[in-house]
Structure 1
Amino acid sequence: MAEKRPPPPSADPAPVAPAFTCGLDATLKIISGKWKPLILYFLLRGPTRYGELKRAVRDVSDKVLIQHLKELEADGVLRRNDYKEVPPRVDYTLTQLGQSLAHALEPLCTWGTENMTEMQKIFVERDSWAREKHT
């Protein structure tokens, strides 16, 4: 009688989900990146075309904005809607998961607004320390 052998291991092991240390760690894995929280914030308004996002998220390069949009789409936070028209028409919307995440960021927006004047003073002082250190 022939001996049964287990199948050979696959060349590509199954992907392993990242282990999170806490809920904040999981959240930060999604929103990490300088511009992602702002992208989420501006998408709360509803479907938004690329050009509108580019104007809203000032100072972001095209390369980084496109990269962040692709990552957020891969993470299930936003949806890219391609209308298959000529000229091309594409917009971005938040998924249900993305909406809940963007709403969770709203208290941070409120905190920033309430403390903006004090934060500006702190950053001016911090910048002066950096200049003194280099002189």
Structure 2
Amino acid sequence: MKPPPYELCYCHAAKGSARLLSRIYDRHLSSVGINIQQLTILSMILHNPGMLMANLADQMIMERTTLVRALKPLQEAGFIASELAGTGRTLSFGITRTGKEKVLAARPHWQAAQHEIETKVGVKQAEALRDAMHNAASSA
């Protein structure tokens, strides 16, 4: 018997996997008080000081309006700071000392999530999957 089309759908599989991965990371990060999306944003800004809104949206593969909503709690918590850049029509972001401390506190929890995923699917398979997703996203 042939599987139903939704079981063959790459999008359905990817979205289900993304939800599962987010739950794993969020569970590990919950004691630090941030989620995986917030940690990713903080890490990108930490490693790219002065990152512009457009570049951050591109790197996060997010619409700018969605990114603005994701940034708001990080700004309110004092983890990131923003300033007008260039002609004053765009924002650039920097991480604060508190934000850097949050990233450092989250690192062992993130590593535990990484280990859990590698245990579930195998290190080589997890790395291959990550690389394939990066390649697909960069070619879009």
> Which TM bucket (shorter chain)?
0.5 to 0.7
Aligned to 1:50: 53
Q: TM-score under structure 2 normalisation?
A: 0.53
Instruction: Name the structure where helix makes up a greater proportion of residues.
Output: 2
1:120, distance to aligned residue in structure 2 (A): 4.1
Q: TM-score under structure 1 normalisation?
A: 0.54
Give the Cα–Cα distance (whole angstroms) in 1 for the partners of residues 44 and 121 of structure 2: 23
Q: What is the RMSD of the two structures over their aligned residues, measured on CA atoms?
A: 2.6
Give the Cα–Cα distance (whole angstroms) in 2 for the partners of residues 87 and 71 of structure 1: 23
Q: How does 1:1-135 map to 2 (within 5 A)?
A: 27-28=32-33, 31-32=34-35, 35-47=37-49, 48-58=51-61, 60-83=62-85, 85-86=86-87, 88-120=89-121
Higher relative contact order (CA 8 A, sep 6+): 2
Q: Is the radius of gyration larger for structure 1 or structure 2?
A: 1
Q: Which structure 1 residue ranges, 5 or more long, are not aligned?
A: 1-23, 122-135
1:113, distance to aligned residue in structure 2 (A): 3.7
Check whether the contact 2:53–2:90 (CA below 8 A) recurs between aligned residues.
Answer: no
Q: Which structure 2 residue ranges, 5 or more long, are not aligned?
A: 1-29, 123-140
**How many residues align structurally?**
92
